[in-house]
Structure 1
Amino acid sequence: MEKTLGDIYPQELRPTNPYHPMNLIQKNYLSPVKVLMLAALLLCASACNQSDPEIPSQPNEAFWKISSTVSFAEGSSAIIITGTTGTEWSAEITEGKAWCSFSSTDFVNATVKKGTVKDGLNVLYVYYKANTGLEERKANLSFAFAGESPQMFELTQLSKEQVNLPSFKAWAELPAAKENANYQYATHYTSLSNQRIRNYSICFDKTRKAALWVAYPLHNAYLNGSGGRTDAWAFDPIVPFIYQPNCVERSYKGNYDRGHQLPSADRVATNEMNAQTFYMSNMTPQLDRLNQDMWARLETKVRANKCSDTLYVVTGAYFGANVTTTADGAGSTVPIPTNYFKVLLRTKSGTTGKQIKDCSESELISMGVWVEHRSYGNIDPPRSICMSVAEIESKTGFTFFPQVAAAVKQQNNPTQWGIN
């Protein structure tokens, strides 16, 4: 039985503070001036023995700013600390002290650090030396707010020659591997409930500066939690920077968005999980009126088909005939996809508790969509973009969902997927 993430990892519950002044400002509900006026009124009401509810304090939290996996080169990562002003905290590197430190100049004594939550941004920097070995290595950090149980953080540093290859024969969402010197396969992992789980896998084409496909499971465990949209635009630490588009500071030129293949909204359980969707390897230059309109509605339709058994998704960019170009944020030329596609696979009931490879043909449903890179208008996904997975295999040359029978990939029933 293939346990879903919801079975293995409980939902991460985080107390919310909708009335905290900083939240009111950040969500644009109130301007800073109005928040000060509100605070003055609350103080006045308190002085007059009124029964207005007390504004709750901000919850104490700590999380990786971008990712718990870093490249082989020396550098630093960061843990963001939020909480009630004045709360004391302590951190200790418990494993990896020889190469990991809270100081960029002292890798002997700076393995313990204490502090107090202050107003504004609180950051705990974690510095690491270059990994000259042949294998990845891990450091463990213990972090605790005063009076609370310690929280464990794991930092994984890759080796120089290492990539995190996907488990092609084990994960149902993965297409079959295809040999090409220009392709780089990689899987990004993330932490959830103190476990290391897969986030998504890519087939990155170095000549196109884009992933030809991004494969990922979709389940409530990836959607329910304390995270949100991070806008943490960054280079992928696994793919060499020279092959990635440089849109960290600004988008592509022209009317092109930094279009996610794995949507940010599909990964909001934790901030680390979401931040990895902002890697440049997950981006393509996507026409703004496609990205923000029909494509966004299509992503919502896909999310609506999640199930307890897990929905398996592959999103891809296709470069057909007459490819045109634009420039990335740094002015370098990048090709523009002529088409986008998605292929979907899940159990029909959504509650079999079986692995995909153990399901009969009658228990599985699949579908594909093939999208021209143009504006469709702000409409729901039309039936005209729907086709079978087998047809998209024929167009792209990739073999999707190799664990299932060919008959399953011949299906094309849009209504079954909520597309009318």
Structure 2
Amino acid sequence: MTKALFRLFILFITCSTAISCSEQDSPDLPDNPGNTNQGIASIDQTQINANGGGFIIRVKADGTWQASSSETWCTLSRTSGNGNGSISGYMKANTGAERSVIIIITSGKEEAQFTLKQLAGDGSNPDPDPDPEKPSGYAGRIEIPKLKGGSMNQFITHTTNIEGKEIITYSMEYDYSKKHARWVAFTFDSKTKISNVSRTEAWMYDKKIPEEYRTYEKDYKEYSRGHLCASYDRTYSLEANKQTFYYSNMSPQSTAFNTGFWTKFEQSIKTPNGKNDFIHKLGDNDTLYVVKGGYIDDEEIKYTGNHVAVPRFYFIALLLYQNGQYTQGMAYYVNQFDYDPSSTIKSYAMSIDKLEEKTHIDFFHNLPPDIESEVEAKYDEKAWFQ
């Protein structure tokens, strides 16, 4: 009798634990206008913009379940499971008319059906999965380095809409295997140089990245969360500043480097000559192209506990387009664990060609070859540090 009761007790504890763990693995989505709940499943949004993006479905089922998408341009991270679980969905960019997709979740006799709408595109072919050898859309822009490509790298562009016009916040190529951007690229021009808002502190995971490759606050607890595209760089709109707080835009940095020397580099982009007038002198048709990042192909690179790459070296590449021509290029390269905090950032400056030798990244490759060769080969210290 005692053994039978003991077995029954163990069975009860085992079942209770399994149910508890299953529920913890699939928490309810927070209440918001886009959250639709249909019994066995809920979805966090029902509308995706034309540039593409991700969504999350939570499944609550007692047994096996299946999931399907009615369109090939909308993919699901998994199409079946057992018990509670989550699905990451992703829509490719839309260059045509508004379109819809139906997502169906079934478990036994229960079914949940969601219709997601994707807004119409403008025909510019943003192309979130471009051919590295034949870049188009966003990937064909001047600031975008040559993509590494492959199934473990994702090209992402975040945008906002101001007065009916799309403004690019920044683009990046994100490495799934290292949970870190290979680089982040953006521009300053007559619209994006403006400072209208303050730092938002809107920390958030990046919905465009599949769930299993995302990073969160806990992944940086050993380090400071260093912005690649700085909050300071995107103050022309509230939404743009919020996008700089996506964890995909973060890099694990030592506190001393993040709050000290890296901040000097960030501030130098807006004011390279230290007189707070460089960016402000950009004319209506002038542009400063910027690429920033941590070098993650370093053979000696280390990782956080959740396998987020911790770069030793950080880089910046700058290209100035002014008065109708590409006039100047320069770059920085610094080791966050081995630098002289009393030195000036000028001592870490170099030509873009030299930076390419160190990082093996082809910067500004969308320029005409003769112009690319000219601006990347020379570094005129006086032009940048007056």
Same fold by TM-score greater than 0.5 = yes
Letter in 2 for 1:312: Y
1:271 to 238, 244, 251: 238
TM-score (norm 2): 0.61
Aligned to 1:343: 317
Give secondary structure in 1 for the equivalent of 2:269.
Answer: helix
Aligned to 2:88: none
Letter in 2 for 1:414: E
1:410 to 374, 377, 381: 377
Letter in 1 for 2:348: I
- CA deviations on 1:53-90 (whole Å, 9 max, x unpaired) are xxxxxxxxxxxxxxxxxxxxx97897xxxxxxxxxxxx
Matches within 5 A, 1:10-409: 104=36, 128=46, 133=71, 134=73, 136=94, 163=128, 167=137, 170-224=140-194, 226-247=196-217, 250=218, 252-254=220-222, 256-304=223-271, 305-306=278-279, 307-308=282-283, 309-319=286-296, 320-327=298-305, 332-347=306-321, 350=322, 352=323, 354=324, 359=325, 364-374=327-337, 376=339, 379=342, 381-402=344-365, 403=367, 404-409=371-376
Question: RMSD value over aligned CA atoms?
Answer: 3.3
Give the deviation of 1:370 after TM superposition: 0.5
Whole-angstrom distance in 2 between the partners of 1:169 and 1:300: 26
Give the deviation of 1:412 after TM superposition: 2.0
Whole-angstrom distance in 2 between the partners of 1:194 and 1:158: 14
Give the deviation of 1:393 after TM superposition: 1.1
The answer to whether the 8 Å contact 2:160/2:167 transfers is yes
The answer to whether the 8 Å contact 1:235/1:241 transfers is no
Whole-angstrom distance in 2 between the partners of 1:77 and 1:275: 20
Whole-angstrom distance in 1 between the partners of 2:244 and 2:169: 9
The answer to whether the 8 Å contact 1:191/1:273 transfers is no
Give the deviation of 1:263 after TM superposition: 0.4
Taking a change above 3 Å as real, the CA distance of residues 206 and 407 of structure 1, as seen in their structure-2 partners, is same
Whole-angstrom distance in 1 between the partners of 2:196 and 2:257: 29
Taking a change above 3 Å as real, the CA distance of residues 241 and 408 of structure 1, as seen in their structure-2 partners, is same
The answer to whether the 8 Å contact 1:316/1:342 transfers is yes
How many corresponding residue pairs?
Answer: 270
Give the deviation of 1:399 after TM superposition: 0.9
Give secondary structure in 1 for the equivalent of 2:242.
Answer: helix
Give secondary structure in 2 for the equivalent of 1:312.
Answer: strand
TM-score (norm 1): 0.57
- CA deviations on 1:84-140 (whole Å, 9 max, x unpaired) are xxxxxxxxxxxxxxxxx678479xxxxxxxxxxxxxxxxxxx95277854365869x
Give secondary structure in 2 for the equivalent of 1:383.
Answer: helix
The answer to whether the 8 Å contact 1:294/1:379 transfers is no
Pick which of 406-415 and 194-203 moved more. Answer: 406-415
Q: Which runs of 5+ in 1 are unaligned?
A: 1-73, 79-100, 107-125, 140-154
Q: Which runs of 5+ in 2 are unaligned?
A: 1-27, 39-43, 48-54, 56-68, 74-91, 100-116, 122-126, 131-135, 272-277
Letter in 2 for 1:193: E
Give the deviation of 1:374 after TM superposition: 2.1
Whole-angstrom distance in 1 between the partners of 2:212 and 2:29: 18
Taking a change above 3 Å as real, the CA distance of residues 261 and 77 of structure 1, as seen in their structure-2 partners, is farther
The answer to whether the 8 Å contact 1:301/1:418 transfers is no
Whole-angstrom distance in 1 between the partners of 2:118 and 2:163: 17
Whole-angstrom distance in 2 between the partners of 1:276 and 1:196: 14
Whole-angstrom distance in 2 between the partners of 1:105 and 1:324: 41
The answer to whether the 8 Å contact 1:366/1:409 transfers is yes
The answer to whether the 8 Å contact 1:294/1:377 transfers is no
How high is the sequence identity, in percent, across the aligned residues? Answer: 27
Give secondary structure in 1 for the equivalent of 2:137.
Answer: coil
Letter in 2 for 1:398: I
Q: Which has the higher contact order (CA 8 A, sep 6+)?
A: 1
The answer to whether the 8 Å contact 2:172/2:182 transfers is yes
The answer to whether the 8 Å contact 2:219/2:308 transfers is no
Aligned to 2:124: none
Aligned to 2:80: none
Whole-angstrom distance in 1 between the partners of 2:344 and 2:374: 25
Aligned to 2:66: none
Letter in 1 for 2:290: V
